[in-house]
Copies of this chain bind each other. A is one copy, B any other.
Amino acid sequence: MTRVLVIDDEPQIVRALVINLKARHYEVDAAHDGATALRLAAARHPDVVVLDLGLPDMDGVEVIKGLRGWTRVPILVLSARHSSDEKVEALDAGADDYVTKPFGMDELLARLRAAVRRAEPVPGGEDEVVVDTAEFTVDLAAKKVNRGGKDVRLTPTEWHLLEVLVRNTGRLVSQKQLLQEVWGPSYGTETNYLRVYMAQLRRKLEADPAHPRHFITEPGMGYRFEK
């Protein structure tokens, strides 16, 4: 199911959007200020964001930049401002589309569908959904890890960390990038989190956790997943 994050401080607009989206079987989260929005985005990983630029606590463009720091999720901007400059600024900050209020619900939904559609991975995707190693198997689509015929139970954070690493198989992922992708854009220095969770992943997946063969530490730089 497609997950939408709606960010707007006007309750009636939020309500209208939520009703229409839910009726079309979207899963909807709502935030009424920028700080909540950024936190929710990090926690819930929406498939598309609908953002009103006029927020009480921060400039809408700052929200766009905050999101673009760590994700390419489509951002559809709503705004009462018709000025060309505003549109250009928002789009160049990383927004994908800009709709002026008042808007037609049909059009908005069509733009939403377009944004979601083009963000979809190529059909018959080139990216592997299942990654095999000698000791275990990761199924990114099913969100499952199998080891020795049994499913391994992972906590949400463990899974998220594993996912980022596996999607970058063979590549070094910096500690900052890991922290920001898993814990949110405001993190970046809390390397102790990584140490703890990397240890848990190794304990659950490595044959010999003390001498990891798949979750490799690059001191001072980050971690790397190898098949």
- 24 A-B residue pairs with Cβ-Cβ distance under 8 Å, sorted by A, are A72-B118, A84-B104, A84-B106, A84-B107, A85-B106, A87-B106, A87-B107, A88-B107, A91-B113, A91-B114, A92-B114, A94-B117, A95-B114, A97-B111, A98-B111, A118-B118, A118-B119, A141-B171, A142-B170, A142-B171, A143-B171, A143-B218, A155-B219, A156-B220
Interface of A is mostly: mixed
- Asked whether any CB of chain B lies closer than 8 Å to the CB of A159, the reply is yes
- Asked whether any CB of chain B lies closer than 8 Å to the CB of A110, the reply is yes
Shortest Cβ distance from residue A42 to the other chain B in the assembled complex, whole angstroms: 19
Query: 1/0 per position for A164-192, CB-CB distance to B under 8 A?
Result: 00000011100000000000000000000
Give complex CA distance A167, B109 in Å.
33
- Asked whether any CB of chain B lies closer than 8 Å to the CB of A96, the reply is yes
Give complex CA distance A98, B112 in Å.
12
- Asked whether any CB of chain B lies closer than 8 Å to the CB of A15, the reply is no
Query: 1/0 per position for A76-97, CB-CB distance to B under 8 A?
Result: 0000000011011001101111
A221 to chain B: which residues have CB within 8 Å?
A: 143, 156, 159
- Asked whether any CB of chain B lies closer than 8 Å to the CB of A74, the reply is yes
- Asked whether any CB of chain B lies closer than 8 Å to the CB of A122, the reply is yes
Give complex CA distance A119, B122 in Å.
12
Shortest Cβ distance from residue A102 to the other chain B in the assembled complex, whole angstroms: 12
Query: 1/0 per position for A185-227, CB-CB distance to B under 8 A?
Result: 0000000000000000000000000000000001111001000
Give complex CA distance A104, B83 in Å.
10
Q: Which of A107-155 contact B (CB under 8 A)?
A: 107, 109-111, 113-114, 117-119, 122, 141-144, 153, 155
A106 to chain B: which residues have CB within 8 Å?
A: 84-85, 87-88
Give complex CA distance A97, B115 in Å.
9
A94 to chain B: which residues have CB within 8 Å?
A: 117
Question: With contacts A110-B87, A159-B221, A220-B155 known, is A142 near B92, CB below 8 A?
Answer: no
A104 to chain B: which residues have CB within 8 Å?
A: 84
Apart from A88-B110, A96-B118, what are 8 other A-B pairs with CB-CB below 8 Å?
A: A84-B104, A87-B107, A88-B109, A91-B111, A94-B117, A142-B224, A143-B221, A155-B220
